[in-house]
Structure 1
């Protein structure tokens, strides 16, 4: 006689809605990243601190919900067939992303991104679904805390970077290391187990979408993995040909020039208003004499260097008139 695993708990629609919000936030972030990459917008989405904070917030939500979903689906007993079916889908998606980004971005391809992490973390989290809560909390604290307490250049290499203790992250368009991010999954496990053991569980289970927005978010949440796989190819299918036709990098180069010039100028001790005047003058000279190739490539002919020096002297006299002395 064989026994089957207990059925999964009734679906918590509120969790689907939360997943829907997270996947829409992820799409919005990736849209901005793509716009920045193709130079439709000036923001450096990959490195500006505010954008990095937004990305980490969205990732935290995703991984927290992984822990939530594992407890809801397998907390009473692991439903192996359902688990492996979903796991294979995630793993296959991770493999597709690695292959696609290897050809599109060979220097920064995704070798351990969000889906890779979800696949590994889902396996790693299984023993914690019914382990003592104090033990789960202890492991989560160690994994999160170790990331902030230890670093070594050894982990800068791709081979070891999946652990997360680097001093300088290796080039990758998406990298989600074990430390600290597996700890976030365990936080989802802890919170969900605590909620299910409290009266709050019944109230949350009773929540149902009451308007079109909530219904749409819940639907997006149920199909979040498929949406995650498809959204970037669809965005790139629109933005890549649009960038090839419009060349937004040409429009952005002036803004890049002014930003770089003003940073260098103010670092040298000149006041910001004077730097604005100086750099605007420099930009006008570069455009008038068509010196963009010299600036971007660093390959400057003698004639171009002479013109750059003349422009520099002219712009310097705008902010320091005393330099315009008779020869």
Structure 2
């Protein structure tokens, strides 16, 4: 359900952005400073849920085949996004967006599934602090993904590994704490697939597909609407 809320937020954010980009509404809500902060918050929710999901999937024992299958899926779609945006938006192509960040964060987080939670918290604090302590000169596209460069090359999707990776670690700490207290068992009894909000659980199981397809669908529908109004 949490994933469902996050992907709905993505769709709504991009809808507002597209409406503003087409001149149908004031573009400030999505494209201004507030909109930028909202976008960071949405991306952060997905990165946080990576940590939660890793504990749920591999907390008792690591399942390499399951992990590698999911990682290959993320990397494959991330490469697809990079190639497509390079062809369509060569000056703003996605070299390291949210999908790439999810994949890298998933790999880096693996040791913290077994390490002490105190160490995970310490690593999270370091991830949050490093961008303010270390600065790499320039805005190289091949280094800006770290979150440590002075600037960032223009891109339509950019997710900074630091400080976002700190959220993945906090997700791991939270879920490990809940599991130790037995709260995960109580949460599992909550049937989120039923009731008026059951659809959120459904879309939450298909976030990757929705993420990949929603913008082409939105842009197609909105551009068709603009054309018909002429």
Do the aligned residues in 2 keep the contact of 1:67 with 1:187 (CA within 8 Å)? yes
1:37: Cα distance to partner? 2.3
Does residue 1:197 correspond to 2:177, yes or no?
no
User: What TM-score comes out, normalization by structure 2 length?
Assistant: 0.92
Q: Which residue of 2 aligns with 1:291?
A: none
Q: Which residue of 2 aligns with 1:87?
A: 71
Partners of 2:120 and 2:132 in 1: CA distance: 19
Do the aligned residues in 2 keep the contact of 1:45 with 1:52 (CA within 8 Å)? no
Q: Which residue of 2 aligns with 1:165?
A: 148
1:196: Cα distance to partner? 0.7
Partners of 2:18 and 2:137 in 1: CA distance: 30
Give the CA RMSD over aligned residues.
1.8
1:245: Cα distance to partner? 5.5
- Three-state SS of the structure 2 residue aligned to 1:165 is coil
Higher relative contact order (CA 8 A, sep 6+): 2
Counting only pairs closer than 5 Å after superposition, residues 1-327 of structure 1 correspond to structure 2 as: 17-44=1-28, 47-154=31-138, 156-209=139-192, 211-243=194-226
User: What TM-score comes out, normalization by structure 1 length?
Assistant: 0.66
1:45: Cα distance to partner? 5.2
1:80: Cα distance to partner? 1.3
- Three-state SS of the structure 2 residue aligned to 1:60 is helix
Partners of 1:109 and 1:203 in 2: CA distance: 44
- Three-state SS of the structure 2 residue aligned to 1:136 is helix
Partners of 1:34 and 1:151 in 2: CA distance: 34
Do the aligned residues in 1 keep the contact of 2:124 with 2:166 (CA within 8 Å)? yes
1:107: Cα distance to partner? 1.0
User: What 5-or-longer segments of structure 2 have no aligned partner?
Assistant: none
1:121: Cα distance to partner? 1.1
Count of aligned residue pairs for this structure pair: 230
Superposed CA offset, 1:262-291 (max 9, x none): xxxxxxxxxxxxxxxxxxxxxxxxxxxxxx
1:187: Cα distance to partner? 0.9
Instruction: Between 39-48 and 63-72, report the one with greater CA deviation.
Output: 39-48
- Three-state SS of the structure 2 residue aligned to 1:235 is helix
Partners of 1:82 and 1:214 in 2: CA distance: 29
1:223: Cα distance to partner? 1.1
User: What 5-or-longer segments of structure 1 have no aligned partner?
Assistant: 1-16, 248-327
